[in-house]
């Protein structure tokens, strides 16, 4: 059997290894347009390679996979995050689970994973053809018994040109996982400030995310912002990346915030407001928020009254910023869109219109929030395809 894998990324290389293990007498050719296989894996997780996630705190797969959660539920039944842990452990990779539920190699070195994959493919006899761009998948189907497309996402339709002639339904690609530009906001002067528990949303929508937030010199980043960019990827693209961002700096409801402020006021009536703040709010940020709420810098807690308390409560729960543009989160560049899931059989990942053609990874309209979920999707889908082809 001759099998072609188009794309030497996470899904493609993982699939190739599993294919060759199941079908040792088969010919497995991996074609990669770039010079270096697994180039994206080498930089993911800041060069540490966030392999997967424990999924603790994820009550529904839709929280992790804004697009493709139903498909992921099917493929996880074949190869889950627990299977990923076992797979890498058996390959000699010691793993560590962080407090944020992200899983990394203990070496904290993504090249350990890259070299592992390259050595396994070499040992098994998988042929990797780097620097070879496949122009037409349709033509490749005439030469190979099975073709697996794992080219990843693309920020433009041109990245899917190799699929022309297959009459597939496509979802226009747009960026996902990006930071927010706030060019008119003075909060950028607080660059480097981190707030661990926030809630962020977009005014007039149901898009909301929770987690740490980082203030940058161009605006805002951090897990909360990246999650929100993923959930609202298509909405923000259609709005030209102009929207109203609402930040709850505590992640709590207004009633609880007011109780916290009241306690601070009761305990420190003669103290300056700027000097005493909720424990989760950094001092520099608190000073900025007090000023933004138009509370005098020399005001004491006993002086601000109910009106001042309302202002502080409102600024903590409903702080408003004008989002104008996006920045790229280079370590985890992901796109929303690609090959529509209506084209494939959820059980096998085989194309309904073209028997022998399979898709895995981000080339499909499947993408996730940051935290190892995108790589987990690659492992799971790559494994599912290998099993499907071997069983057939």
- What is the CATH classification number for the domain harbouring 114? 3.50.50.60
Kind of pairing between the strands at 27-32 and 2-6: parallel
83/14 Cα distance (integer angstroms): 13
What is the 8-class DSSP label of residue 9?
A: S
* Amino acid 277: pLDDT: 93
Last residue of a domain, one of 284, 313, 328: 328
* Amino acid 45: pLDDT: 87
The per-residue pLDDT for range 111-143, each reduced to its tens digit, is: 999 999 999 999 999 999 999 999 999 999 999
308, 185: one domain: yes
pLDDT > 90: what percent of the chain?
Answer: 94
15, 111: one domain: yes
**DSSP H or E stretch at residue 218:** none
89, 195: one domain: no
What the block records as the tokens of 284 is 């520099």
**DSSP H or E stretch at residue 371:** none
**Per-residue pLDDT at 356 exceeds 60:** yes
171, 182: one domain: no
Sequence length of the chain is: 392
**Per-residue pLDDT at 332 exceeds 80:** no
The per-residue pLDDT for range 218-256, each reduced to its tens digit, is: 999 999 999 999 999 999 999 999 999 999 999 999 999
| Number of independent structural domains in the chain | 2
82 to each of 78, 248, 380, how far by Cα in Å?
Answer: 11, 34, 11
161, 222: one domain: no
* Amino acid 387: pLDDT: 98
Contact by Cβ (8 Å): 202, 320: no
**Per-residue pLDDT at 73 exceeds 70:** yes
Residue span of the structural domain in which 261 resides: 178-328
Instruction: For residue 136, give the 3-state DSSP assignment.
Output: coil
**Per-residue pLDDT at 101 exceeds 70:** yes
375, 250: one domain: no
What the block records as the tokens of 107 is 């070496």
**Per-residue pLDDT at 329 exceeds 60:** no
**What global pTM score does this model have?**
0.91
105, 189: one domain: no
The per-residue pLDDT for range 163-219, each reduced to its tens digit, is: 999 999 999 999 999 999 999 899 999 999 999 999 999 999 999 999 999 999 999
Tell me the sheet residues that pair with 2.
27
Tell me the sheet residues that pair with 178.
328
Last residue of a domain, one of 285, 300, 328: 328
Beta strands in 298-356 (DSSP E): 319-324, 326-328, 334-339
* Amino acid 120: pLDDT: 98
Contact by Cβ (8 Å): 211, 227: yes
Tell me the sheet residues that pair with 323.
243
Confidence of residue 153 (pLDDT cuts 50, 70, 90): confident
247, 278: one domain: yes
50, 18: one domain: yes
16/80 Cα distance (integer angstroms): 18
* Amino acid 155: pLDDT: 75
242/235 Cα distance (integer angstroms): 10
83/383 Cα distance (integer angstroms): 10
159/332 Cα distance (integer angstroms): 18
64/368 Cα distance (integer angstroms): 5
DSSP assignment string, 80-101: -HHHHHHHHHHTT--EEE-TTS
138, 19: one domain: yes
254/313 Cα distance (integer angstroms): 7
* Amino acid 273: pLDDT: 96
Last residue of a domain, one of 274, 299, 328: 328
**Per-residue pLDDT at 392 exceeds 90:** no
Contacts 24+ apart (CB under 8 A), 261-269: 261/309, 261/312, 261/313, 261/316, 262/309, 264/301, 265/301, 265/302, 265/304, 265/309, 268/301, 269/300, 269/301, 269/302
71, 126: one domain: yes
357, 369: one domain: yes
Closest to 319 (Cα-Cα) out of 251, 256, 261: 251
């Amino acid at each position: 059997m001759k099998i072609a894998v188009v794309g030497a990324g996470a899904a493609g290389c993982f699939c190739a290894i599993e294919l060759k293990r199941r079908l040792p007498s088969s010919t497995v050719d991996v074609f990669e347009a770039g010079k270096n296989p697994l180039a994206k894996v080498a930089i993911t997780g800041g060069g540490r390679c966030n392999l997967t996630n424990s999924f603790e705190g994820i009550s529904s797969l839709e929280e992790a996979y804004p697009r493709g959660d139903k498909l992921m539920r099917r493929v996880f039944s074949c190869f889950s995050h627990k299977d990923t842990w076992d797979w890498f452990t058996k390959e000699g990779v010691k793993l560590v689970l962080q407090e944020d539920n992200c899983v990394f190699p203990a070496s904290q070195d993504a090249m350990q994973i890259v070299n592992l994959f390259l050595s396994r493919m070499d040992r098994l006899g998988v042929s990797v053809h780097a620097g070879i761009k496949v122009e037409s998948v349709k033509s490749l189907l005439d030469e190979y018994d099975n073709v697996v497309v794992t080219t990843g996402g693309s920020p433009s339709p041109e990245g899917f040109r190799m699929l022309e002639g297959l009459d597939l339904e496509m979802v226009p690609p747009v960026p996902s996982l990006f930071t927010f530009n706030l060019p008119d906001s003075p909060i950028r002067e607080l660059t480097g400030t981190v707030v661990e528990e926030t809630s962020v949303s977009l005014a007039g929508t149901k898009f909301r995310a929770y987690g740490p937030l980082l203030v940058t010199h161009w605006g805002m980043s951090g897990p909360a912002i990246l999650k929100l960019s993923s959930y609202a990827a298509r909405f923000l693209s259609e709005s030209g990346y102009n929207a109203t961002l609402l930040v709850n700096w505590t992640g709590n409801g207004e009633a609880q915030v007011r109780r916290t402020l009241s306690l601070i006021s009761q305990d420190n009536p003669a103290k300056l407001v700027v000097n005493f703040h909720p424990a989760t709010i950094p001092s520099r940020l608190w000073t900025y928020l007090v000023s933004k709420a138009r509370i005098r810098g020399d005001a004491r807690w006993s002086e601000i009254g109910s009106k001042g308390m309302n202002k502080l409560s409102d600024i903590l729960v409903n702080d408003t910023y004008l989002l104008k543009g996006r920045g790229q989160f280079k370590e985890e560049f992901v796109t929303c869109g690609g090959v529509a899931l209506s084209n494939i059989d959820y059980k096998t990942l085989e194309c309904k219109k073209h028997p022998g053609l399979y898709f895995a990874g981000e080339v499909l309209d499947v993408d996730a929030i940051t935290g190892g979920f995108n790589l987990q999707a690659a492992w799971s889908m790559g494994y599912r395809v290998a099993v499907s082809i071997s069983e057939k």
